[in-house]
Amino acid sequence: MNYELETEYIELHQLLKVTGMFMSGGEAKFAIGQGLVKVNGAIETRKKNKIRPTDTVEVNGKKILVI
């Protein structure tokens, strides 16, 4: 799935919510804290990590490419 970014960056937990990967920001934050989310192939535990164009986010085998 591609996500077109309209600002300089989006925080990781917000990206997961707006793309529908999680129903709420709280669920997204929990998953990030549990080490279930990868950014550019590495496990990411920072909930407010700034995601920028060309970053790839993966959760449960599903990938989001930020463009």
Q: What is the pLDDT of residue 43?
A: 98
User: Number of folded domains in the chain?
Assistant: 1
The pLDDT score that the predictor gives to residue 13 is 97
Residue 22, domain extent: 2-66
3-state SS, 3-61, equals: ECCCCCCEEHHHHHHHCCCCCCHHHHHHHHHCCCEEECCEECCCCCCEECCCCEEEECC
Q: Which residue has the tokens 């917000």?
A: 14
CA neighbours within 13 Å on the CB side: how many for 48?
0
Here the CATH number for the domain that contains residue 52 is 3.10.290.10
Segment 3-56, tens digit of pLDDT: 999 999 999 999 999 999 999 999 999 999 999 999 999 999 999 999 999 999
Does the pTM exceed 0.85? yes
pLDDT of residue 35: 97
Compute how many other C-beta atoms are within 10 angstroms of the C-beta atom of residue 60: 9
pLDDT at residue 9 in the model: 97
